[in-house]
Structure 1
Amino acid sequence: MEQHLLVFKEVAETNNITLSAKNLHMSQSSISLQIQSLENEYGVRFFDRTNKGVTLTKEGEIFYARIRSILDILTSLKEEMSVRAKDQKRLNQRRLIYLGATLTIGEYILPNIMAYLSKTYPDVDFKVKISNTESIAQDVSEKKMHIALIGGTAPQHKDLKVENFWNDELVVVIPHFHPWASKNSITLAELPNERLVTREEGSGTRKVMEMALKERGFDLNQLNVIMELESIQAIKQVVSAGLGISIISSLTVSSECDRKIFKTLKIQDALVYRPFSILTNTQTTQTKDEHVLINLLHDHELLSDILRKNYNDLEKHASEVRLTHPAVSNRKGQIHGQEQWQ
């Protein structure tokens, strides 16, 4: 139908079938047949034919005015769809890293890593699931994701490969106005003297803390636990209000320490560390993009630098990396092409 309308418009504007045929690279008979087909379809004559050419009838003038609008709309629609098709093609060319993370890593490590990688490799997108260790490990074992980052002890599974990439220190966190603020460390014997705010039973942070204290012969019943919370952010709010102290990851309070909201203390006779690990499936091949992430996690110097920076610093740092290392070094891996999920 659109072809018929284009033919009609051309003939209406040239008033000459021969010239229209030349302009449209069609035969005169084909032009005449398409005009006749339109006239038969609408039951009216659109042109008066003479030896000098053709002219629009009254009905033809009405039809011409309408089809000009219709063709303008179709042209505009084609342009819009063309733009959308190009955008979709560009989106389809973007690569995806789908990974899982436990709470502390997902909230306090991954944001900086993703900000850095997004600025360094702008064609890479992330889809992140933040959940408990068991759920994340199950997804990796079932090949629903290729990489997971967990804190604490990794589940035992024949197809899971576990690689340590960071040792996270658990520290005593106090408000900056606390009487202990002049200290850099405390002893285990001092812990029962303070009200303690902890993560809920079953959390990785809570398990690591209790295991470390037990290994040093400390009786957990001596702890004056006044509150158990399921959120690190909630614990920080309670501690900043002076309602108690906590033992949580040093990473989660680094910015508050910089702003003199919190002070962190070590436990002299019970330094508490927990491993942060990369989980992958031994039966799954990682994409090149995923290898970039894994290489970054194993580069302790680079990772430390990334975790110390805020978002604006990361953007500047990533730009410097692109300028000084246009061909990405082995240290960071490379990203090429589109990879398929296994």
Structure 2
Amino acid sequence: MLLKQMKYFITVVDLHSFTEAAEQCFISQSAISQQIKALEKELGVRLFERSKRQFSLTVAGEYFYRHGKVLLDEIEDFKEETIRRGEDQELNLTIGYPKNFSTNELLETIVEFKRIYPEVNISVVSGTHEELFELLVDHRIDMKISEQRRTFNKDYYNENLKESVSFIEISTLSPLSKKEVISADDLKNISCILVVSKDREDSEREFFEKSLNLSHRFLYADSLEQARLMVASQRGYLPVDQIGHLDKPMSGIERIELSYKGNPIQRNYFACWPKDKTNYYIEEFVKMYKEALNK
């Protein structure tokens, strides 16, 4: 069975016409009919019920059309990816992740991915959620990991990674560090420390105020390490999300689950990348990272 015979058959069914299918495939109508008859002969079953100038699919034809269409799409993807790999002299994958991100699985996935695919150069970029979105739109990163803060865009794949559990990190010298669960109301008189880039403070503050109901007093840090030093020196608390394994907090800091009105605060994290720029490596990395998070 030739792939072109399968393509001819599927084109006839899609266009509901032997004549139009022949024109689209750049062959004569008699040639396309002969090819499909040869296909039926090889399979030993009829794919079409013919009556004068009309035709309908047999049960076998319905099955062959449905599964053959999927197979042809996969073959086309396979061909395009093979060509792309052959043309690319250097393969690069740039991953964006939030500034306040602190899970071991991302680093572990990068290391394992490099072991399996040494031909790929991986780089990482950290930023606020808004910065990561802008970098993705401008094609300066290939994929971003972030929580859902906006309506999904149909031009992007959004793979649900895991639902996070929200915590705060606070100095062990604070009386609140003895609590097993802490509420947003408990924190209303303490400064909230955010890891944020310069000129992005307002958008981050607004999100934490309106979406997480955290305090209206904010301090800002350039990095996670700086933020934790501020926590240890009792300047405020740091909100963090757990979507994977978190190491024990540094000495002088306690990590406590955050709640609002008696309920845990949880958020969804996604991997997001453009549909028109997708490739095998992005999809494989997302698959490996999701598996690592959900072990």
Give the TM bin, normalised by the shorter chain. 0.5 to 0.7
- Choose which of 244, 263, 269 in structure 1 pairs with 2:236: 244
Kindly name which structure, 1 or 2, has the bigger radius of gyration based on alpha carbons. Answer: 1
Contact 2:164–2:242 under 8 Å retained in 1? yes
The offset of 1:296, in angstroms, is 1.5
Structure 2 equivalent of residue 110 of structure 1: 106
Question: How many angstroms does 1:225 deviate by?
Answer: 1.9
Show the counterpart of 1:292. 284
TM-score scaled to structure 2, two decimals? 0.55
Q: 1:203 to 1:257 in 2, by over 3 A?
A: farther
1:238 to partner: Cα distance: 0.8
- Residue 233 in structure 1 maps to residue 232 in structure 2: no
Say if 1:186 and 1:266, in contact at 8 Å, map to a contact too. yes
* Aligned partner letter, 2:93: I
Deviations, residues 26-57 of structure 1 (Å, cap 9, x unaligned)? xxxxxxxxxxxxxxxxxxxxxxxxxxxxxxxx
> Structure 1 residues 286, 145: closer, same or farther in 2, change over 3 A?
farther
Which residue type is aligned with residue 212 of structure 1?
Answer: S
The SS at the match of 2:277 is coil
Answer yes or no: is 1:273 the counterpart of 2:266. yes
Scaled by the length of structure 1, the TM-score of the pair is 0.48
Give 1:15-94 correspondences, 5 Å limit: none
- Tell me how large the CA RMSD over aligned residues is: 3.6
Which residue of structure 1 aligns with residue 127 of structure 2? 131
Aligned equivalents of 2:251, 2:116: Cα separation in 1: 28
- 1:303 maps to 293
Which amino acid is 2:133 matched to? A
Aligned partners of 2:143, 2:194: CA distance in 1, in Å? 29
Q: Within 2, Cα distance between the matches of 1:115 and 1:144?
A: 22
Q: Which residue of 2 aligns with 1:180?
A: 176
Closer, same or farther in 2 for the Cα pair 1:107/1:239, shift >3 Å?
same
The separation in 1 between residues aligned to 2:270 and 2:181, in whole angstroms, is 27
2:98 matched to 1:99? no
Write out aligned runs for 1:316-327 (5 A): none
Q: Deviations over 1:223-259 (max 9, x none)?
A: 3626333433222111112232232334699324376
1:191 CA displacement: 1.9
The equivalent of 2:164 in structure 1 is 168
Distance (Å, rounded) in 2 between the aligned partners of 1:253 and 1:235: 20
Cα-to-partner distance string for 1:180-225 (whole Å, 9 max, x where unaligned): 3332112343222434434553455x454323344xxxxx6xx362
Kindly provide the amino acid, as one letter, of the partner of residue 293 in structure 2.
Answer: L
State the secondary structure of the residue aligned to 1:255. coil
Paired residue type of 1:211:
K
* 2:4 aligned partner: none
Cα distance between partner residues in 2 of 1:182 and 1:277: 33
Unaligned runs of 5+ in 1: 1-91, 215-219, 306-342
Q: State the shift of 1:119 in Å.
A: 3.9
Shift in CA distance, 266/120, structure 1 to aligned 2, threshold 3 Å: same
Quick one: structure 1 residues 152 and 103, their matched pair in 2 at CA, closer, same or farther if it must change by over 3 Å?
farther
Please say if residues 104 and 252 of structure 1, whose CA atoms lie closer than 8 Å, have aligned partners that are also in contact. Answer: no
How far apart, CA to CA, are the structure 1 residues paired with 2:128 and 2:218? 24
Q: After the TM superposition, which of the residue ranges 131-140 and 235-244 deviates more from structure 2?
A: 131-140
Deviation at 1:165, TM superposition (A): 1.0
The structure whose residues are more often helix, as a share, is 1
Matching residue's letter, 1:303: L
Alpha-carbon distance change, 207 to 117 in structure 1, aligned in 2, over 3 angstroms: farther
Separation (CA, whole Å) in 1 of partners of 2:223 and 2:267: 18
Matched, 1:255 2:251: no
Q: Which runs of 4+ in 1 moved over 6 A?
A: none
Distance 1:255 1:203, change over 3 A: farther
Q: What amino acid is the match of 2:162?
A: W
Question: 2:134 and 2:187 mapped to 1: Cα distance?
Answer: 37
Amino acid at match of 1:128: V
> Which amino acid is 2:272 matched to?
L
Aligned residue type for 1:209? F
Q: Distance in 2 between matches of 1:227 and 1:252?
A: 26
